[in-house]
Amino acid sequence: MKLTKLLPWIVGVVALFAAVFAAMPQSKVNGFDVSAFAKLPILEGGRVKPLDSVARNTLLLIRSQQSFRFEGKTITADQWILDLMFRPEVADRQPIFVINDPDVLGLIGLKQTSDRYFSFATLAPHIDELEKQAKVAQPIEAKQRTRFQSAVVNLFERVYMYFRLKNTLQLAGTPGLAVQLQAVAAPQAAEMHSALTQLAMFRILPPLAGQKADAWESVGEALQAGAMGQPLHPGLEPMSRIAAAYGAQDAAAFNSSTTEFSNLVTSLRPEAMSHANNEITFNRAQPFYVGMIIYVLALLMIFVSWLWKPELLQPSAFALLVAGAVVHTAGLAFRVILQGRPPVTNLYSSAVFVGWGAVVLGIVLERLYKKGFGTAVATAAGFGSLIVAQHLAEGDTMEMMRAVLDSNFWLATHVVTITIGYSGTFLAGAIAIAYTLWKHIAPDPDPETGKALVGMAYGIICFSLLFSFVGTVLGGIWADQSWGRFWGWDPKENGALFIVLWNAIILHARWSGMARDRGIMTMAIFGNVITSLLLVRREHAGRGPALLRLHGLGLRRPVGLLRLARRADAPLHDAQALPLPEAQP
Amino acid sequence: MTNKYLLKAWDFISSFQLTIASLALLMILVLLCTLAQVPLGTYGAVNMYMRSFLVWWGPEGSTWIIPVFPGGSLVGFVLTLNLLASTFKRLKLTWAKAGLWLVHIGLILLVSAEFVSAALQVDDRMAIEQGQTVNYVENSRSMELAIVDVTDPAFDEVFAVPATVLAKSSSVNLPGSPITLNVKHFFPNAELTNRSPVDPPSIATMGIGPSVKIEERAISSNENEMNNTSVLFEPVVSGRSYGVWLASIALGAPQSFTHEGHTYTLSIRPTRHYLPYALTLKKFSHDKYAGTEIPKNFSSLVQISNPSKGESRDVLIYMNQPLRYEGRTFYQASFGKGDTLSILQVVENPGWLLPYISCVLVTIGLLVHFAIMLRRSLKKRQEKVS
């Protein structure tokens, strides 16, 4: 009796502790204070972020993972970026390029084996051929490319990104930044400075006192300014020592130079330093990844509970669900504070938010009905949506918002409302699937439980209809505000309308008595099909029908009217359509 | 007997089955319309599926077409009737149903707003260069042949013939001018290329016309493709012919001829509507996020001058912040010429407020209804307890 009361608490608290533990800073690696270096703020993609974010996002794009094994050791993204920038000869041997396409493997003379990861050194002899093939494929519109062409362009872009990162702080294959600083004004240096400027992936030198807040400089730009006779940026000197120390594997010198550089940044831009500090904590905590693991554990526990000791395991699974929801919520809140934006800003965050909405609704249902179904459905929905989100993350998930989207008011109203509507539809579908499975598996399905499940689904569909309708209309109003028409039947609007119509059909079918329990549940499952289609990856959507092309909010939107404006204007050849979002989800 | 049929019809019109069937048809139309946007473009697909009473289909290459599916307008109309009928039939005028009444009125308003904008909305545009003052909007969907008397440097006298008139008539008198136009050939869409020596000679005798080869093309409804409206015509002034000219939207600078000291320019251009006021672009700004190509904002600082009202003031038009003036709404739509040209979308839609009202009604309605339901279920629960 005591255990049944105690176990849920223990399980929940342990899960939360594990989540907090994950956010702890990494200890020194072989004496190198990697964390201190990774914490340095830089400007990339229009915003200030820690170097750690660049390291993780780039490694994620290149290898699809945030760390990897090399020579028996785990290399984190931060260690990798240090090697790449300061010891490229080591980084070039690390297997970080994931290649799945057999034709691309053939191009570089490799056979498809279980090992899909290749080092830059392996690719290096084939770069020319790769570039040739990519140049052929690049002018073709992404949608029209063959699988091979897409893969070759993708690999080439990753190689180029790797190359840029390698040549951001100092040119690989040269004696290094310290030597360049000695001969800033030398005539042959100009070419190297301009190469550094052009290749720089990020800007690491903070604006000096009196300069504008976004006037960050890359190493190349600072060297160019120095060559013009301006005083050298005070960060160049310590940066050159960091580079030299890491290249020589001198931990003490590396740590002291990093501290020196970091103190300089703190004195020049304390707000950038503290922002970077917060963001690196968020990166380390990976709340959505940890949340996903907690959800899947809860789901497994609920499965076991149906066979063994339900009175003990069901409350424990519920406790895990709540712990997962706490982590998930904390992650969302942290993101909102970091970015200064409402929770949904792009496809990735909409998946995270849809999952969160479904989990919260599921917890409410479990409290109301206490049958374990709420827990099962909520954990499945939370786990599923976070997995989808992981796959939707392409580079920086907190990228800057394009002009028309730069409206916290509409992001907060329309986008959040409609995403909650999607959550509901998604959860109702999940309940319906659970209902169907239960009907077929349970040896003696009691009508009471069946009724409760139908009641849950019905209530949630009402809720989703309200939110998806209001969200869709708010989207129309936003469209009216920004480009002068309330409704244009574009794919995104149609997608939203689809969900509204389907929910309306389900409710009317029930009210008229045309559909009873089983009918409603079947229809709810189809609602899930629609939501999934809307959340399907753009990548697949490229070749598919436009309906599947759920808008990454950060992408260009082909608004008919805007294109029209451009096309009809024959004399104004250089007129460009404004980049607009691909509309509301 | 009639009564019985009327009752049956009333039952049918107000039935749930009709609601569900209409909603389902609408869903299918939305799907078809979305899929058709790839080949037809948004405008073409919407006209085919949504803004039509019937969806027509015919085999490729043949001229006959048959209706194969109800169009969006028809379904929307039936749905509205059904909504009205069922509202009056089923909804009692009681406070308990107040929420549902609001929801249904709001929905009817929303559907009618779409009808209003389909019928009355006019989309124009205004392109202004920095420092320039413009007192007209252009309609990019329709073209006109403009004959402009530019003799007086302070004042242009404009005679314009809509393309639709050129398409139908063989001879057009320009009222208020001594000019008559004999239309030789009108091309709704055409391809213009340089004439090579082996091509047959052109009908055109004057201007750039003789050196251009012109071939008729099918009209495209896709907004990414431009219809090169072109015309071969002969201006006759007071009985005297000035030769056959080619005018086309695809040609750049206007051509001109002179008659008795009056110089007339000829060009095909988007149809203009002149406004009783003018906009001057003082500055166009386009900022990007540092170190990226991601646009941060676009804005146009314009001055409105309306002499009839003695009004002259500055307005900043930017994203999500249009200018609403005298029944027209000006939106920042596009830009060009190295950020010195601003293109404003100008929309005239008398029904623009309807969706706003509808949204408020439906939201309040749903909230009221849910509140009433919640109160009822709480009451039941209380009764159970006691």
Determine what percent of chain B is predicted with pLDDT higher than 70: 98
Assess A437–B contact: CB distance below 8 Å, yes or no: no
CB nearest to A45's CB, from B292, B329, B341: B292
Mean pLDDT lowest among A163-177, A275-289, A299-313, B36-50: B36-50
Asked if B347 contacts A563 with a C-beta cutoff of 8 angstroms, the reply is no
Tokens of B294: 């991601």
Reported as type and span, the H/E element at residue B90 is helix B72-90
Residues on chain B touching A575 (C-beta within 8 angstroms): 127, 334-337, 341, 343
| Band of residue A42 on the pLDDT scale cut at 50, 70, 90 | very high
- Predicted confidence at residue A297, as pLDDT, reads 92
Residue A406 and residue A263 share a domain? no
CB contact under 8 A, A466 and B110: no
Residues in Cβ contact with B386 at an 8 Å cutoff, skipping those fewer than 6 apart: none
* Arithmetic mean of pLDDT, A358-362: 90
- Predicted confidence at residue A22, as pLDDT, reads 81
* Distance separating alpha carbons of residues A499 and A530, to the nearest angstrom: 7
Mean pLDDT lowest among A79-93, A103-117, B247-261, B336-350: A103-117
Residues paired with B70 in a beta bridge = B54
* Distance separating alpha carbons of residues A63 and A181, to the nearest angstrom: 34
Does residue A553 have a pLDDT over 50?
A: no
CA distances for A124 relative to A116, A128, A138, A418, B95, angstroms: 16, 8, 20, 48, 77
CB contact under 8 A, A546 and B322: no
Residue A228 lies in a domain: yes
Tally of domains in chain A: 2
Residue A203 lies in a domain: yes
CB nearest to A466's CB, from B295, B298, B366: B366
Assess A458–B contact: CB distance below 8 Å, yes or no: no
* Arithmetic mean of pLDDT, A230-241: 90
| Band of residue A141 on the pLDDT scale cut at 50, 70, 90 | confident
CB contact under 8 A, B320 and A478: yes
Mean pLDDT lowest among A53-62, A277-286, A562-571, B89-98: A562-571
Does residue A85 have a pLDDT over 60?
A: yes
CB contact under 8 A, A498 and B31: yes
Q: In whole numbers, what is the pLDDT of chain A averaged over residues? A: 81
What are the phi and psi torsion angles at A222 (to 5°)?
A: -65, -40
Residue A214 lies in a domain: yes
- Predicted confidence at residue A405, as pLDDT, reads 64
- Predicted confidence at residue B224, as pLDDT, reads 62
* Distance separating alpha carbons of residues B150 and B262, to the nearest angstrom: 8
To the nearest whole angstrom, how far is the Cα of A60 from the nearest Cα of chain B?
21
SS3 B112: helix
* Arithmetic mean of pLDDT, B364-375: 84
Question: To 10 degrees, the CA torsion angle through A316, A319, A325, A329?
Answer: -150
* Arithmetic mean of pLDDT, A366-379: 84
Last residue of a domain, one of A236, A256, A271: A271
| Band of residue A403 on the pLDDT scale cut at 50, 70, 90 | low
* B-contacting residues in A 523-552 (Cβ below 8 Å): 545-547
| Band of residue A530 on the pLDDT scale cut at 50, 70, 90 | confident
HSE-CB at B61 with a 13 A cutoff on CA atoms is: 0
Mean pLDDT lowest among A8-22, A57-71, A521-535, B341-355: A521-535
| Band of residue B1 on the pLDDT scale cut at 50, 70, 90 | low
CB nearest to A572's CB, from B30, B226, B336: B336
Q: What is the DSSP string of B236-260?
A: EETTEE---EEEETT--SPEEEEET
Q: In whole numbers, what is the pLDDT of chain B averaged over residues? A: 85
What are the phi and psi torsion angles at B181 (to 5°)?
A: -110, 125
Task: Tell me the per-residue pLDDT of B268-315, one tens digit each, with 9 for 90 and over.
Answer: 888 888 899 999 999 998 888 877 777 777 889 999 999 888 889 999
Q: Where are the alpha helices (DSSP H) in A127-248?
A: 127-137, 147-166, 177-182, 189-199, 219-227, 236-247
CB contact under 8 A, A574 and B225: no
Task: Tell me the per-residue pLDDT of B110-143, one tens digit each, with 9 for 90 and over.
Answer: 888 888 888 888 888 899 999 989 999 988 778 8
Does residue A14 have a pLDDT over 60?
A: yes
Q: Which residue has the tokens 């002018």?
A: A139
* Distance separating alpha carbons of residues A115 and A155, to the nearest angstrom: 16
Does residue A564 have a pLDDT over 70?
A: no
Helices A416-441 & A517-535, crossing angle to 10 degrees? 130
Residue A150 lies in a domain: yes
A463 is in which domain, residue-wise? 402-567
β-pairing verdict for B133-149 and A576-577: unpaired
Does residue B354 have a pLDDT over 80?
A: yes
Determine what percent of chain A is predicted with pLDDT higher than 70: 89
| Band of residue A562 on the pLDDT scale cut at 50, 70, 90 | very low
